[in-house]
Every structure is written in C-alpha cells, then in structure tokens.
Amino acid sequence: MSERSQTPIRVLVVDDEGEVRDAYRQILLEADVNRDLAVFHDLRTRLFRKTEIAPPPAQPGSRAATFDPVFCDGAETAVAAVKEALAMELPFAVVFLDMRMPPGPDGVWAAARIRELDPAIEIVICTAYSDVDPCEIGGIVPPEEKLSYLQKPFHPHEVRQMTIALASKWRAERTVVKLAYFDSLTGLPNREQSRNRLVSAIEAATLHERTLAVLYLDLDNFKRVNDTLGHAVGDELLRVVAARLRSSLRYSDSRSIDSSSIARPGDLARLGGDEFMVLLPNIRKPADAGVIAERIIGALREPMQLALNSLVVTPSVGIAIFPNDGADAETLLRNADLAMYFSKRKSPGTYSFFDAAMNASALQRFTIEDKLRGALQRNEFTLNYQPLFDIRTGHISGMEALLRWTNDQLGVVPPSEFISVAEETGLILPIGDWVLRSACAQAKAWHDEGLPLIRMSVNVSGRQFALSQFPSQVGAILQETGLDPSKLELEITETVIMNDEAWAEKAIDQLKALGVALAIDDFGTGYSSLARLRRFAVNRLKIDRSFVTSLNECSDDRAIASAIIAMSRSLRIDVTAEGVENISQLMFLQEHQCHEAQGYLLGAALPAADAEQLLRRVDAVLEGTRTQRLKALIG
C-alpha cells in the first residue's frame, strides 16, 4: 500500500443532529470494514433511539484507509473550521454538509462560503428531503463536478466509499496542480502560479485602493556554490533559502507593519534558478516593503551549514510598488527585476526600490552584460574584414578585422553597444585575445593562398594594452599562427596612450621590436596633439570619421584634415581616413595626398569569405590606372 493512501483523509462533517454525527463517527473512525458491517445493524437502531454513544476507538494499525474527521454542529462553525484548516495548511478533502440546520444558516449558505475559501474541497450535500435539486445548488456553488449528493438515511458503506473516492479524486487533482504550479525542489509556487497570484492581488489592490509590493530576490553567489560544491549542495542551499524565506515572512513585526502587510505562504515563489519573488499584497506605505526586504536579507545572511561547508549567502533585492511602478504583473515584475540588478551592481546584498531612471537602456546594458558572459564559449563571435585602400595607387593595402557578435536572443549586437560593456567587465581580455589570434590566423591563411594581403589591422582595447604581458602575448600569438609580424598592425586610441604615457612608450617599443606596426585609431577625438604623439613611434594615424564626414561642408574640418595629413607626411607617419562615404570626400583626400582610405564608398566590413573574394578580384585587376583599379574594385 502506498504511503499516500495511508495518510488519514481529512473530512469535515457538518450536521446539527448529534445522532447523525455519531453515525458518521462510527463510520469514519472505524477502519475495519468487517466491523463496520457488524455495527451497521446496531447503528440503525441507535440512530432512531436518539441516545449519545461513545465512538469505538480508532485502529491505527489497520491497512485500510483511515480518516481524520472533524465534527461541527452548524454552518458557521463549519466555515470557521475550513478557515483554520487552511491556515494550518491541513485542508479538508471532503465536507459532508447537512442541508437543514435550523435555526442557523443552511447547508447551501455554508457550501457557498466554504467554496469561496477553498476551491479544491469536495462538497457533499446530505438531506432527508427530496426537495433538494443538486443541479440548482451546483449553480449557486460551482463547480458542479465538485459537488455530490447523499440521501439520508445513508448506508455506512455509502459514506465510507464516497469519502475514499472523493478524497482520491481530490488528491489526484492536488498532485496535478502541484506539478503544474509548484517547484518540486522547494515546494514553493512556481513562476506560473506566482504570476496568477500577482494578477489577482493587483485586481484586489485596485478594487480596495491598496498599495502592493513585489520583491525580486537573486542570490549573489549561488553560481559559485553550484560550480565549486556541486549541484546537490546547490539544491540543498535553495531548500534552506526557501525555508528561511517562509519563516522570515511568517514572523510579524507588529510595531512597524500592520499584519495585513505580512505575506501569506502563497505569496512567496521560486521564479527559477536562484531567483525568488515575495508578494506583499497590502502594505501601508512603500517604505514597509524596505523593512521586509531588510528582514529577508538579514535572515538569509546567517551562515548555513551544508554538508561539511559553512556558507554565507546574500541576496540582492529589487522592489517595485503598485500602482506607482507599474499597473500590471509583467511591468511590476520586470521593474522589480531591474531594481534587483541595480542592487547587485551597486552593492550586492542590499535592496533597491525601482525608479524611472532605471530605464530601458540600462536594462539593455545589463542584458548585454549577462549574455556577453559565455559568448566566447558559445562561439557567438565572428570577425568581419573591411578593406583599406591605398588611394594613391588604387590597391588594397590591408584589411581591418572588426568584431561581430550574434546572440540567440539579442540578435546581432553592434560593437558600439557591447565593446564598452566588455571593457568594463574585463571580458574584453579573453575576447581581445580571440580576436587577435583569429585575425592573425586568417591573415596567415590568405597569405599562404597567395592572396595580396599586405597588412592585417586589429583593434586593441585599452584594457588589453595596459597589461604588462601584452607585448609578449602578441609575440606568442604571432609565433603560434606563423604570421609574419610585419603584416600585423595594432590599432589603439590616443586616450590609451595618454592614460599612461610611460607604459605606452615602453609597450610600443616592445611591440615594434617584435616587428609589429602601430596605428592611432579615431585620431582627432582624444584632445592630444600631434606634437605630443611624436615621441611615440607610431606608424599610422587614422583620421576619425567625424572629420571626414564633414569634409564637404565644414571648412574648419577641411583645414584640420589637411593639416593632419601635411604634418604626418613631414613626420613620416602614414595617414588613413576613416568613414569615406562619397566621391567628393575621396577626391579631397587624394588632392591632399592622404595615403589610405577606408569607408562604405570603397567597401564595408565583409564576412571572411566575401573579403577573400575581394582579395581575389584585386589580384585580377592589378593592371590599369589608379582610377580604373578603384572603379573596378568599388563597382
């Protein structure tokens, strides 16, 4: 026999007549069916003799179904009993309700109240009269399929078997609900269930003009526990967290918060992973939610003994208040989540209230950070190659490797959105390493195929460049890929040099000793003067696109661009103009003897296969005038 069917069935018996209650008592407390039969005849006579009898003792050792009945003599006490059972988390499976209990309210009244309190309970209407129409009662106390009918006088077997059958139906339904709406690890409501609960709490708050709060919790160091101590310890930790959340919410701090603001067990949920939600359906003022958040953080911060480890876990908490921070469940949850992210970044283990400044762009920023982790392992990066043209000869002088990121959920993310995040988080170090290695390997492959690639340009972040081992890393990658160092040019920005001029000078010397060339990218945006850059032995300046864009209209920018070109020539530094988009810009640059140009007019960044095709075309059009060659390549 399964363990489940051995747990006693909780039954509520409601009848104003003591004799009838005794009859039930006989049936429900007598587990042995054979004995049931023996007492049956006796019972009938006693029923009509109207004398109280003591119930026979229960037989706990019996293998048959056992019952845990509660007896009430009126409708009101029955409603109170259901309430209490729910509060104790010991709900009744079945209630037998007498139809007429004068002078108090009748069975239909009780059924309606009970159904309101407990949508799952099986209700049995019992009556000696034939004027009761179950169909009519079903309309008053829906759903009809959870309503049964029993005619008095009943046979004990009827009551017993009906209880067992209805309880088994009730249990099966509970199991289904548990599977669909509860998290099996912690026993807490899951995301789906908590959403339903939040929706109805918002409806109630709207109706009664209440303030409601949603707390979004995320454990700060859960991943590390899982990774280092294993999933079994991780699971145990989540169970302990759930238990602590339960008890910290049950505790009522009547001095600062009124009792209606204390969450009920159903107002706590596990949203997935190490994320939990607490719903406070009725608070007096938003600050009360902060008090509860603090209490929760305090409760979780206590050290936990798991297996042989003593662990300290802190949660970061975000709070969104209804109606101020959102009118519906999705908005409130999203804003609470966003506030949680702010807590986590600002100082883990604290709480934050949502505020409007935590806007969509901030959310996008956090989402990028989240997805950027692991992007390298998931092979989400590729390199595109943009051709660099020698505009004096019309030949391709190089390719610039430009990083591309495609994520399953975010789609193609432009470098302008993720490079800065990668830099802030330090993720740029492994990513930059991958870029350099891939670009060198590609250049070497093209070279080996005999394609005319003179130079591969690779962007280097300030974070990479600042590492004392950066020059030796570059050397190692060159060795590993077998690329001739003279074919590699590294692009850094002026600010990177100016941040630490002493190191920049040393690093550039070391890189040049390897045979690698250096270019200053986005020149003109970093407030450094050419004179200051002189002592750094850079090979090239790349004039920022902002100057090139306004070459047609703005005479100041024309003057600046021509001055940069002229001065570089005198310092024997090559110049590349970035962002050349039209013929007149190209003509201006040619007139001023700018060496190189890069831009959409000449070619956008291409996937490796297309860049390779372009290099093959170059091979084929080596002959002809400069203009003919440029035309052939652009066309």
Give least dist CB 580 to ligand C2E, A: 6
Of Mg ion, ligand C2E, none, which one sits near residue 419, judging by CB under 5 to 8 A according to partner kind?
Answer: ligand C2E
The alpha carbon of 194 is separated from its chain's Cα centroid by a whole number of angstroms, namely: 15
Cβ-based nearer residue to Mg ion, 154 or 465: 465
Q: Which residues pair with 279 in a beta bridge?
A: 214
Min dist CB 427 to ligand C2E, Å, is 11
Identify which of residues 337 and 522 has a Cβ nearer to Mg ion in the complex. Answer: 522
Beta carbon nearer to Mg ion, 494 or 521: 521
Nearer to ligand C2E, 402 or 611 (CB): 402
* Count, residues near Mg ion per rule CB under 5 A: 5
- Minimum Å distance from CB 260 to ligand C2E? 54
Residue 135 site contact among ligand C2E, Mg ion, none (CB < 5 to 8 Å, cut-off depends on kind): none
Q: DSSP per residue over 455-502, as a string?
A: -EEEE--HHHHTSTTHHHHHHHHHHHHT--GGGEEEEEEHHHHHHTHH
Distance of CA 296 to the CA centre of its chain: 20
Q: Which is nearer to Mg ion, 113 or 595 (CB)?
A: 595
- Nearer CB in complex with Mg ion: 15/491: 491
Q: Which residues contact 340 (CB under 8 A, 6 or more apart)?
A: 216, 217, 218, 316, 317, 318, 352
Q: Which one of ligand C2E, Mg ion, none interacts with residue 22, CB within 5 to 8 A by kind?
A: none
Q: Considering beta carbons, is residue 349 or 524 the nearer one to ligand C2E?
A: 524
CB of 418 to ligand C2E, least distance (A): 9
Count of other CB atoms within 10 angstroms of residue 598: 28
Question: Could you tell which of ligand C2E, Mg ion, none binds residue 74, using a CB distance below 5 to 8 A set by kind?
Answer: none
Nearest-10 crossing angle of helices 18-29, 156-181 = 70
Nearer to ligand C2E, 85 or 516 (CB): 516
Q: How far is the CB of 441 from ligand C2E (least distance, A)?
A: 14
All residues at 6 or more sequence positions from 505 whose CB lies less than 8 Å from its CB, including other chains: 535, 536
Nearer to ligand C2E, 86 or 601 (CB): 601
How far apart, in whole angstroms, are the C-alpha atoms of residue 173 and residue 166? 11
- The binder of 414, among ligand C2E, Mg ion, none, by C-beta within 5 to 8 A per type, is ligand C2E
- Residue 520, binding choice from ligand C2E, Mg ion, none, Cβ under 5 to 8 Å by partner class: none
Nearest to 81 by CA among 12, 157, 169, 133: 12
Rounded to the nearest angstrom, the gap between the alpha carbon of residue 10 and the centroid of all alpha carbons in its chain is 40
Q: C-beta of 238: minimal distance to Mg ion in Å? A: 46
Within positions 33 to 52, which residues make up the interface with Mg ion, using CB under 5 A? none
Burial profile 169-187: b = 16 or more Cβ within 10 angstroms, e = fewer:
ebeeeeeeeeeebbbeebe
CA dist., res. 294 & res. 300, Å (int): 10
- Residue 563 CA neighbour count, 13 Å, CB half: 12
Residue 448: CB minimum distance to ligand C2E, A: 23
**Partner touching 596 among Mg ion, ligand C2E, none, CB below 5 to 8 Å by kind:** none
What's the Cα-to-Cα distance from 516 to each of 137, 332, 484, 576, rounded to whole Å?
89, 54, 9, 17
Q: Give least dist CB 416 to ligand C2E, A.
A: 6
Q: What angle do CA 288, 282, 111 make, to 5 degrees?
A: 150
- Applying CB under 5 A, the span of 104-112, 115-123, 574-582, 604-612 interacting with Mg ion comes to 574-582
Give least dist CB 426 to Mg ion, A. 21
599 binds, among Mg ion, ligand C2E, none (CB under 5 to 8 A by kind): ligand C2E
- The reply to whether 489 sits near Mg ion by the rule CB under 5 A is no
Q: Which is nearer to ligand C2E, 256 or 499 (CB)?
A: 499
Interface residue with Mg ion among 267, 274, 390, 491 (CB under 5 A) is 491
Q: According to CB under 5 A, which residues from 507 to 566 bind Mg ion?
A: 521-522
Long-range contacts of 17-23 (CB under 8 A, 24+ apart): 17/98, 18/52, 18/73, 19/46, 19/47, 19/50, 20/47, 20/98, 20/152, 21/71, 21/73, 22/46, 22/52, 22/53, 22/55, 23/47, 23/154, 23/156
DSSP state of 16: S
* Nearer of residues 459 and 481 to Mg ion, judged by Cβ: 459
Distance CA 8, CA 29 (A): 10
Q: Which is nearer to Mg ion, 30 or 522 (CB)?
A: 522
String marking each residue 184-213 x if it binds Mg ion according to CB under 5 A: ------------------------------
Query: Minimum distance between the CB of residue 627 and ligand C2E, rounded to whole angstroms?
Result: 20
Quote the least distance from Cβ 499 to ligand C2E, whole Å: 15
Task: Report the nearest approach of ligand C2E to the CB of residue 550 (Å).
Answer: 13
**DSSP category for residue 159:** H
461 binds, among ligand C2E, Mg ion, none (CB under 5 to 8 A by kind): ligand C2E
557 binds, among Mg ion, ligand C2E, none (CB under 5 to 8 A by kind): none
Name, in order, each residue with C-beta under 8 angstroms of 215's C-beta and a sequence gap of 6 or more: 277, 278, 279, 280, 289, 292, 293, 296, 317, 318, 319, 336, 351
Angle between helices 415-425 and 428-448 (to 10 degrees): 120
DSSP string, 600-628: TTT---EEHHHHHHHHHHHHHT-SS-HHH
Q: How many helices (H) and strands (E) does the chain have?
A: 25, 22
CB-nearer residue toward ligand C2E: 25 or 545: 545
The distance of closest approach from Cβ of residue 493 to ligand C2E in the complex, given in angstroms and rounded to an integer, is 7
Q: Of 416 and 555, which CB lies nearer to ligand C2E in the complex structure?
A: 416
Tell me the DSSP string of 225-276. HHHHH-HHHHHHHHHHHHHHHHHHHHS--TTTS-GGGSPPGGGEEEEETTEE
> What CA–CA distance (Å, rounded) separates 95 from 11?
6
Binding-site ranges for ligand C2E (CB under 6 A)? 386, 402-403, 414-416, 419, 432, 435, 459-461, 491, 521-522, 545, 578-581, 598-600, 605
Q: What is the nearest approach in angstroms of Mg ion to the Cβ of residue 222? A: 39
Residue (265 or 414) nearer to ligand C2E, CB: 414
CB of 419 to ligand C2E, least distance (A): 5
459 binds Mg ion (CB under 5 A): yes
Binds 430: which of Mg ion, ligand C2E, none (CB < 5-8 Å by kind): none
DSSP 3-state helix, strand, coil percentages of the chain (rounded to 5)? 50, 20, 30
Binding residues (CB under 5 A) for Mg ion: these are 459, 491, 521-522, 578
